[in-house]
């Protein structure tokens, strides 16, 4: 008895408009990502002196950029400092 042939795997469709990044550009971007310090939501909340829920709201609204890692979020430290700098309000 022979095993039935499954056939060829389905071809992946790649758009003709797809942009391919040169290897040297990819390597440079990877090196830069290695230098980024990511903070947890709890760490961001501590730095900003707000609740974790406030940080989640900022992330979900898009006001604070974040990367999803599994079920949690990581926020670039520079994004937190940029957000605080732009949110500064001069009351006087």
- The string of pLDDT tens digits covering residues 5-55 is 555 555 554 444 544 445 555 555 555 667 889 999 999 999 999 999 999
d(CA 43, CA 48): 9
pLDDT of residue 34: 75
Whole-angstrom distance, CA of residue 40 vs CA of residue 67: 10
Using a 10 angstrom Cβ sphere, with 0-12 exposed, 13-18 middle and 19 or more buried, the burial of residue 48 is middle
What does the domain layout of the chain look like in residue ranges? 40-92
pLDDT one-digit tens code per residue, 52-91: 999 999 999 999 999 999 999 999 999 999 999 998 887 8
């Amino acid at each position: 008895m022979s095993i039935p042939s499954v056939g060829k795997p389905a071809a992946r469709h790649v758009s003709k408009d797809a942009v391919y990044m040169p290897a040297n550009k990819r390597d440079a971007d990877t090196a830069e990502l290695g230098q980024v310090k990511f903070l947890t939501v709890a760490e961001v909340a501590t730095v900003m002196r707000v609740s974790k829920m406030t940080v989640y709201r900022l992330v979900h609204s898009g006001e604070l950029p974040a990367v999803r890692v599994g079920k949690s979020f990581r926020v670039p430290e520079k994004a937190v400092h940029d957000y605080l700098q732009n949110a500064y309000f001069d009351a006087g």
